[in-house]
């Protein structure tokens, strides 16, 4: 049965061990989310099931637009660090700074704030989503503005690195979870459109930043980014609405049931290995282009082409995921990412090959962002989406912090060498193979769990972590035909 359907199989399905109910529940012809509400003793009107008039439409699309702006101004902004990375190396901006030092600045800017995702989730529960976004907006603006006045390396670490990273996390985390509760059938598509803002932002900030650097300086580029993100994020905050109350969303530091679930740890491994490859591609393409003898502007164009792939690939991934399932499309995407990294990046010696690699890799490498939240929703339900997502996202932050530093350590000592990034490309390809295999395991887990529950889209309000799945069932389900929609 297609999981996009609003109705479950026409039979009586026993629900054992879920919220303490052992009696079989007659679900014939009943909306699965509505049935879950009745099991929990909630009124139909307060539950906001998938048949609600606002599901898959209504104000939900305004929320998608707001989330698009938020990802544009946070993750999209971080995508532009590759231009600063190349510029810092070329100009030898700070005395005594090495390639590894600048790589750590980029890693900190992307990952440190996200590593504290559970804390940010708790703060969001205490002060509200809008206040959380506003706090992040102020921190990000302050970090960028102060970075433009920095004259020492440690100041860049604190401003463009740490302060911007915390601001990004306070904006980026809520932006990835506010969309899912508004949608049912088109959940992944809506999330992918929202996260496409990161790709569009990457295009704008890569090309725009390089143009400002060429015309003025890196200092003015940082100031321009600070003003642009401040204004856009403020507009998005005014538009945001949430539906956390309808699904009793948890805003705690962690959830013990999530920690006991093997699927959570496999998903965390997937995120970690995925970020090892993703951040390397994100930040290294511009400098790799320059290492082959091309100009800084050509490097920024190559980096922007990766973002074009993000902007195009994420909605495509969302559309296909709503047909075949987010885990299926994610696994395929990262097997392709590994193939492109190993077969195209390593032998690349001319600009045409670099651009081809950039667009193809960009189309598939950022699939994690539109599919991560919907996948977590399938694993734990909407009630625990926020807490479990933030717990897993802390692994993303840790991996993102060190991935570019690892890439820098794997490069040769010469700045203009055709084989400068060979070992880095091999590391990237192996990372993508690992994350794709992990997602195949998660796919098998979801399919096996759905079979146990008797429907291919388990009730969003059930405590899905109480469903026990055997390793044999997971293994058998890993390679199930995509129509199973995991």
Distance of CA 358 to the CA centre of its chain: 19
Least confident of 126-140, 245-259, 391-405, 435-449: 245-259
- Residue 7 placed within a domain: no
- Residue 39 placed within a domain: no
Helix (H, G, I), strand (E, B) or coil at 272: helix
Helix, strand, coil percent values for the chain (each to nearest 5): 75, 0, 25
Q: Which of 321, 82, 64 has the alpha carbon at shortest distance from 197?
A: 64
Least confident of 19-33, 46-60, 76-90, 417-431: 19-33
The string of DSSP letters for 278-312 reads HHHHHHHHHHHHHHTT--HHHHHHHHHHHHHHHHH
Q: Which of 345, 347, 343, 340 has the alpha carbon at shortest distance from 364?
A: 340
DSSP letter assigned to residue 246: G
Q: Which residues contact 244 (CB under 8 A, 6 or more apart)?
A: 129, 181, 251, 386
- Residue 409 placed within a domain: yes
- Is residue 102 pLDDT above 80, yes or no? yes
- Calculate what percentage of the chain has a pLDDT beyond 70: 81
pLDDT tens, 212-267?
888 888 889 899 999 999 999 999 999 988 876 665 566 677 778 888 888 889 99
Q: Compare 110 and 168 and report the one with higher pLDDT.
A: 168
Going from the C-alpha of 465 to that of each of 256, 296, 418, 422, the distances in angstroms are 10, 50, 50, 42
Tokens of residue 83, six digits:
């231009």
Q: Which residues contact 57 (CB under 8 A, 6 or more apart)?
A: none
Q: Compare 452 and 310 and report the one with higher pLDDT.
A: 310
- Whole-number Å distance between alpha carbons of 308 and 204: 10
- Residue 85 placed within a domain: yes
Residue with tokens 């980014």: 225
- Residue 301 placed within a domain: yes
The string of DSSP letters for 49-67 reads -TTSTTTTSTTHHHHHHHH
Q: What pLDDT, on the 0 to 100 scale, is given for residue 458?
A: 43
Q: Which residues contact 188 (CB under 8 A, 6 or more apart)?
A: 317, 318, 321, 322, 326, 370, 371, 374
Distance of CA 42 to the CA centre of its chain: 33
User: pLDDT category, 50, cuts 50, 70, 90?
Assistant: very low
- Whole-number Å distance between alpha carbons of 151 and 292: 30
- Residue 23 placed within a domain: no
- Residue 45 placed within a domain: no
- Whole-number Å distance between alpha carbons of 82 and 203: 12
- Residue 30 placed within a domain: no
Q: What pLDDT, on the 0 to 100 scale, is given for residue 310?
A: 84
Residue 356 burial class via C-beta count within 10 angstroms: exposed 0-12, middle 13-18, buried 19 and up: middle
- Is residue 27 pLDDT above 50, yes or no? no
Across residues 56-70, what is the average pLDDT?
Answer: 86
- Which residues form the domain of 162? 60-484
Tokens of residue 21, six digits:
């109910």
CATH of the domain at 124: 1.20.1250.20
The pTM of this model reads: 0.73
Across residues 440-468, what is the average pLDDT?
Answer: 70
Q: Which residues contact 42 (CB under 8 A, 6 or more apart)?
A: none
Q: What pLDDT, on the 0 to 100 scale, is given for residue 319?
A: 84
pLDDT tens, 383-428?
777 788 888 888 988 888 888 788 878 875 555 566 778 888 999 9
Q: Residue 266: in which H helix or E strand, if any?
A: helix 262-291
- Whole-number Å distance between alpha carbons of 107 and 161: 8
Domain count for the chain, please give it: 1
């Amino acid at each position: 049965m297609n999981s996009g359907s609003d109705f479950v199989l026409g039979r009586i399905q026993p629900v054992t061990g879920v919220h303490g109910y052992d009696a079989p529940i007659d679900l014939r012809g009943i909306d699965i989310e509505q049935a879950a509400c009745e099991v929990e003793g909630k009124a139909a009107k307060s539950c906001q099931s998938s048949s609600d008039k606002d599901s898959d439409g209504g104000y939900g699309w305004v929320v998608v637009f707001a989330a698009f702006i938020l990802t544009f101004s946070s993750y999209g902004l971080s995508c532009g660090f590759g231009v600063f990375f190349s510029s810092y190396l070329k100009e030898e901006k700070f005395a005594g700074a090495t390639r590894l030092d600048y790589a750590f600045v980029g890693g900190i800017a992307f990952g440190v704030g996200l590593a504290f995702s559970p804390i940010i989730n708790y703060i969001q529960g205490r002060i509200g989503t809008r206040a959380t976004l506003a706090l992040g907006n102020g921190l990000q603006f302050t970090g960028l503005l102060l970075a433009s006045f920095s004259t020492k390396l440690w100041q860049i670490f604190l401003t463009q690195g740490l302060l911007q990273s915390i601001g990004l996390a306070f904006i980026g985390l809520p932006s990835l979870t506010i969309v899912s509760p508004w949608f049912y059938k088109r959940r992944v598509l809506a999330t992918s459109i929202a996260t496409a803002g990161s790709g569009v932002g990457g295009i704008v900030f890569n090309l725009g930043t390089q143009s400002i650097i060429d015309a003025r300086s890196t200092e003015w580029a940082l100031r321009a980014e600070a003003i642009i993100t401040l204004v856009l994020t403020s507009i998005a905050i005014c538009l945001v609405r949430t539906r956390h109350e309808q699904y009793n969303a948890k805003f705690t530091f962690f959830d013990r049931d999530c920690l006991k679930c093997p699927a959570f740890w496999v998903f965390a491994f997937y995120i970690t290995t995925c970020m090892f490859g993703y951040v390397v591609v994100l930040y290294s393409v511009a400098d790799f282009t320059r290492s082959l003898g091309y100009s800084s502007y050509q490097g920024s164009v190559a980096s922007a082409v990766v973002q074009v792939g993000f902007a195009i690939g994420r909605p495509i991934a969302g559309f296909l995921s709503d047909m075949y399932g987010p885990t299926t499309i994610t696994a395929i995407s990262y097997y392709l990412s590994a193939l492109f990294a190993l077969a195209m990046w390593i032998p690349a010696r001319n600009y045409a090959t670099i651009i081809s690699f950039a667009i193809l890799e960009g189309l598939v490498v950022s699939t994690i962002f539109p599919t991560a939240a919907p996948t977590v929703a399938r694993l734990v339900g909407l009630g625990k989406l926020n807490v479990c997502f933030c717990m897993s996202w802390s692994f993303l932050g840790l991996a993102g912090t060190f991935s570019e530093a690892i890439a820098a350590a794997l490069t040769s000592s010469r700045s203009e060498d055709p084989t400068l990034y060979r070992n880095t490309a091999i590391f990237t390809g192996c990372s993508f193979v690992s994350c794709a295999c992990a997602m195949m395991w998660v796919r098998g887990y979801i399919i096996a769990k759905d079979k146990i529950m008797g429907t291919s889209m388990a009730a969003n309000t059930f405590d899905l972590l109480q469903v026990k799945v055997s390793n044999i069932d997971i293994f058998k389900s890993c390679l199930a035909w995509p129509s199973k929609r995991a």
